[in-house]
């Protein structure tokens, strides 16, 4: 009897463990896949009706408009007539996989002590088994830039795909960019220092910017010297100065953005990207002439100032695009990790407030890929690129119709089941069963 009870306990533990475990990542593509008849949204503004998309060994080998009655299709055939195909959506500037439950400190690993931390790498802290990461896929969010937080220089981000055993399997582009938290020229009074609560000039602004300038100058001096002793922060700056890493500057104000542009020139930096850019519209010409793109903060927010249009956050991306600035959407802020799954709907909001629908799609696909430097493989449905894409029942930018039937990462068909979908099915059945009572 004791042995029987032991077996029951073991079986219960196995079943319980499986119900909470991350799904097994999909196997490598083993046969060609032909997606037939869908409306293909290429991600560059182009649409192909009645398309044929062929995937072989993880790569898109054909994307064409097809007379669907005249051809034999290779491998597994997916009939997608009446459906829509999109490139995988990319989440920039995210902390996905670095924090699981914000209120549980043991699950946080997105910040380190110190101010100048270019040698801190978010990638090695990335948790591929995160339940939150898993919940991205049913909305088509298949890639992300994992970014550290804190300090003046937070560290180095990496780009990952969202169906992996571990961070080594997940990595798409390692150490893609350095992240700088630019100081604010103005800020609210700090109550803990008995300051007036209103907005005022930050007296420490010049000193904080000087700290950044001094660190960059010291790094250059160290790298130009004999390097007799190992200084990890300075060594990590080498890939910034030689252009291998982009520089993502988290900044909002007009004055601060103009100072960033000057800082870029003084340090001869390539690949500078503004993250946030709330007031970027006022200096759009300067951003355009200096070839600086902007990752605008999520549109689902309210204006910062009383005199601004209520819909300013909704239309900022379009206004910047109209000025010739390369723009994409990022989703940092309150509850940013779980809200990352709403990226396609952020783009849909921008479309609802004036931007053409296919241009809005670029904000979460091709534009993001260009800004992150992964556009050779991702961001559009084109021959020779990674087969990272999804099939939706309807418009992917509309939360009512973005219902995925298939999703692929590098040609691997990934699971669309999550803890949330399991709960939805469970409670849907509950209320269906009660209808007859």
pLDDT recorded at residue 87: 98
CA dist 15 and 6 (Å) reads 14
The torsion angles phi and psi of 224, rounded to 5 degrees, stand at -85, -10
Per-residue model confidence as pLDDT tens digits over 243-260 = 999 999 999 999 999 999
Task: Write the pLDDT tens digit of every residue in 369-390.
Answer: 999 999 999 999 999 999 999 9
Give me the mean pLDDT over the 33-62 stretch.
95
User: Based on the domain organization, do 204 and 224 belong to the same domain?
Assistant: yes
**Tokens 């204006």 -> residue:** 303
What pLDDT score does 124 carry?
Answer: 94
Question: Quick one: 423 and 316 in the same domain?
Answer: no
pLDDT number for residue 100: 83
Q: Label residue 222 exposed, middle or buried (CB < 10 Å: 0-12, 13-18, 19+).
A: middle
Together in a domain, 265 and 315: yes
Structural contact between residues 180 and 153, judged by C-beta atoms closer than 8 angstroms: yes
Q: What angle do helix axes 205-224 and 254-266 make, rounded to 10 degrees?
A: 20
The answer to the question of residue 60 being in a domain is: yes
Q: Which domain holds residue 83?
A: 25-88+379-437
Same structural domain, 369 and 385: no
What per-residue confidence (pLDDT) applies to 73?
A: 86
Q: Compare 290 and 187 and report the one with higher pLDDT.
A: 290
User: Are 79 and 177 part of one and the same domain?
Assistant: no
Task: Indicate if the alpha-carbon torsion angle 164, 165, 166, 171 is positive or negative.
Answer: negative
Are residue 158 and residue 302 in the same domain, yes or no? yes
Q: What is the pLDDT of residues 258-317, one digit of tens each?
A: 999 999 999 999 999 999 999 999 999 999 999 999 999 999 999 988 899 999 999 999
**Boundary (domain end) residue, out of 378, 401, 422:** 378
The percent of residues in the chain predicted with pLDDT above 70, rounded, is 92
> Same structural domain for residues 100 and 224?
yes
Band of the pLDDT at 125, cuts 50, 70, 90? very high
pLDDT at 69 (0 to 100): 56
In a shared domain, residues 367 and 401: no
Q: Which of 75-79, 116-120, 190-194 has the lowest mean pLDDT?
A: 190-194
The kind and range of the H/E element at 372 are helix 366-372
Q: How many domains does the chain have?
A: 2
Domain closes at, from 378, 397, 427:
378
User: Does some domain include residue 2?
Assistant: no
Q: Beta partners for 77?
A: 34
Per-residue confidence (pLDDT) for residue 67, from 0 to 100: 67
Continuous H helices in 48-192? 131-134, 167-170
14 is a domain residue: no
For residue 304, tell me if it sits in a domain. Answer: yes
Q: How confident is the model at residue 209 (pLDDT cuts 50, 70, 90)?
A: very high
How confident is the model over 156-174, as pLDDT tens digits? Answer: 999 999 999 999 999 999 9
In a domain, 7, yes or no: no
Residues 255 and 274 both lie in one domain: yes
Is there a domain that residue 5 lies in? Answer: no
Give tens-digit pLDDT for 9-31. Answer: 444 444 444 444 557 899 899 99
Q: Are residues 144 and 171 in the same domain?
A: yes
What is the distance between the alpha carbons of residues 166 and 128, in angstroms, rounded to a whole number? 5
The enclosing domain of 42 has a CATH number of 2.30.40.10
Do residue 400 and residue 336 come from a single domain? no
Q: Using 50, 70 and 90 to split pLDDT, how confident is the model at 196?
A: confident
Q: Give domain status of residue 394, yes or no.
A: yes
Identify the pLDDT of residue 267.
95
Is 69 within a domain?
yes
Start-to-end CA span in the chain (Å): 41
Instruction: Note the pLDDT of residue 21.
Output: 53
Least reliable range by pLDDT among 156-165, 275-284, 353-362, 410-419: 410-419
Range with the poorest average pLDDT among 4-8, 231-235, 273-277, 426-430 = 4-8
Q: What is the CATH number of the domain that holds 221?
A: 3.20.20.140
- Closest listed residue to residue 62, CA positions, set 78, 49, 76, 73: 73
Nearest-angstrom CA–CA distance, 296 and 363: 10
Average pLDDT, the chain: 89
User: Which single residue is written with the structure tokens 């008995």?
Assistant: 194
| Residues 81 and 109 both lie in one domain | no
Side-chain half-sphere of 374: how many Cα atoms within 13 Å? Answer: 28
Region 322-338: mean pLDDT is 91
Q: Which two tokens stand for residue 130?
A: 């995160």
Band of residue 8 on the pLDDT scale cut at 50, 70, 90: low
> Average pLDDT for residues 116-123, to the nearest whole number?
94
Q: Where are the beta strands (DSSP E) in 184-325?
A: 186-188, 199-201, 246-251, 272-276, 294-296
**Of 378, 396, 429, which residue sits at a domain end?**
378
Asked if 116 contacts 79 with a C-beta cutoff of 8 angstroms, the reply is no
């Amino acid at each position: 009897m004791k042995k029987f009870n032991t077996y029951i306990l073991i079986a219960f533990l196995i079943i319980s463990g499986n119900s909470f475990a991350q799904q097994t990542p999909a196997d490598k593509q083993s046969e060609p896949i032909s997606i037939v008849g869908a409306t293909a949204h290429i991600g560059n503004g182009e649409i192909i009706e009645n398309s044929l998309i062929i995937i072989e060994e993880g790569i898109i080998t054909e994307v064409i408009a097809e007379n669907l009655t005249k051809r034999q299709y290779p491998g597994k055939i997916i009939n997608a007539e009446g459906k829509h195909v999109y490139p995988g959506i990319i989440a920039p500037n995210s902390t996905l996989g670095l924090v699981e439950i914000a209120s549980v400190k043991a699950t946080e690993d997105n910040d380190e002590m110190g101010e100048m931390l270019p040698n801190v790498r978010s990638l090695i802290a990335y948790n591929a088994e995160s339940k939150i990461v898993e919940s991205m896929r049913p909305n088509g969010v298949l890639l992300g830039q994992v970014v550290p937080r804190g300090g003046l220089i937070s560290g180095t981000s990496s780009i990952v795909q969202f169906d992996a055993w571990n961070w080594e399997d997940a990595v798409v582009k390692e150490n893609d960019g350095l992240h700088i938290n630019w100081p604010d020229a103005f800020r609210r009074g700090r109550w803990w220092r008995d300051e007036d609560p209103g907005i005022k000039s930050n007296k420490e602004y010049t000193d904080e910017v000087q700290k950044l300038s001094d660190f960059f100058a010291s790094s250059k001096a160290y790298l130009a010297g004999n390097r007799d002793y190992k200084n990890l922060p300075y060594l990590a700056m080498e890939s910034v100065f030689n252009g291998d890493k982009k520089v993502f500057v988290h900044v909002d104000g007009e004055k601060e953005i103009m100072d960033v542009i000057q800082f870029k020139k003084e340090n001869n930096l390539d690949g500078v990207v503004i993250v946030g850019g709330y007031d970027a519209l006022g200096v759009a010409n300067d951003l355009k002439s200096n070839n600086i793109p902007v990752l605008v903060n999520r549109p689902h927010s309210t204006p910062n100032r009383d005199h601004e249009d209520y819909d300013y956050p909704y239309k900022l991306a379009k206004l910047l695009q109209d000025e010739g600035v390369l723009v994409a959407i990022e989703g940092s802020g309150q509850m940013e990790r779980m809200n990352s799954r709403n990226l396609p709907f952020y783009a849909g909001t921008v479309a609802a407030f004036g931007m053409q629908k296919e241009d809005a799609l670029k904000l979460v696909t091709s534009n993001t890929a260009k800004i992150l430097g992964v556009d050779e493989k991702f961001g559009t449905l084109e021959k020779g690129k990674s087969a990272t894409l999804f099939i939706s029942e309807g418009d992917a930018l509309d939360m009512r119709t973005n219902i995925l039937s298939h999703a692929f990462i590098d040609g691997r068909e990934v699971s669309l089941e999550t803890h949330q979908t399991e709960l939805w099915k469970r409670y849907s059945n509950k209320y269906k069963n009660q209808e007859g009572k």
